[in-house]
Amino acid sequence: MNYLKELNAFREYVLRFHLPTSAVVLWYTLMQINNSTGWKKRFEASNSIVNQLCGLSKQSVANARTTLIEKGLIDYTPGKKGVAPIYQMLSVLDQLPYATKDSYTSTNTEPAQDQNINPTTNNDPSFDQCEEAKWNKLKEIPKQKERRKESKSEEDAFIVYEANFGILSPIARESLQEWIADMGDAMVIAAMKLAIKSGGQTFRYLEKILQE
């Protein structure tokens, strides 16, 4: 899956087929989470993390998720006790008309300098002022992500952990925060990757690696 092609295709999709604002926000959020996990075909994402990043209520996220599933934009496996839900991003290109799809799959697919397309400039009546504000907010996501890396890097470590290991208990969260303070975000995430490769996706196993 080509990240830039999918972003461009999704913008085109939203212009052609009206999606609720909550569904648009959820799609971008899931793309961010998938990016943090290293672009796995299927990835775990706890409900608490998804709700927090979307800034939506539990019910709004559930409704948005149903919309994306019905539109063929994501696949979803509900979680169970101790196991986070599993998502899969499905190609938006497959949902576009052939003529439009060809424009994104041709050999000359260099992205434009300004990727931030404002759908309201296309005179689409389906976008009201509220949706325009949401799109403007979505354009700030990459900048906000960079600011979080600089000022609150430990937040990324928490996202990586819960996307790959599961939900942290309050005690484990406090312990992980201490490890981040002592060793830094990059080292803790590196230890997480090592734990995943070794098949030891538990907090206890992660701590053993950090203690070595």
Residue 50 CA, distance from chain mean position: 8
Does the predicted model carry a pTM greater than 0.85? no
In this prediction, residues 126-135 reach a mean pLDDT of 51
Question: What would the two tokens of residue 41 be?
Answer: 């075909």
If phi > 0 it is left, if psi is from -120 to 50 it is alpha, else beta; for residue 39 that is left
pLDDT at residue 125 is higher than 50: no
- What domains sit in the chain, N to C, each tagged with a CATH number? 3-118 (1.10.10.10), 149-211 (1.10.10)
Q: Is 90:74 a contact under the CB 8 Å cutoff?
A: yes
pLDDT tens, residue by residue, 80-95: 877 889 999 999 988 8
> Strand (E) positions, 10-85?
43-44, 74-77
User: How far is it, in rounded angstroms, from Cα 202 to Cα 176?
Assistant: 12
When pLDDT is cut at 50, 70 and 90, the band that residue 185 belongs to is confident
pLDDT at residue 112 is higher than 80: no
Sign for the pseudo-dihedral over CA of 49, 12, 75, 198: negative
pLDDT tens, residue by residue, 12-27: 899 888 889 999 999 9
Phi, then psi, of 109 in degrees rounded to 5: -125, 30
**pLDDT value for 192:** 86
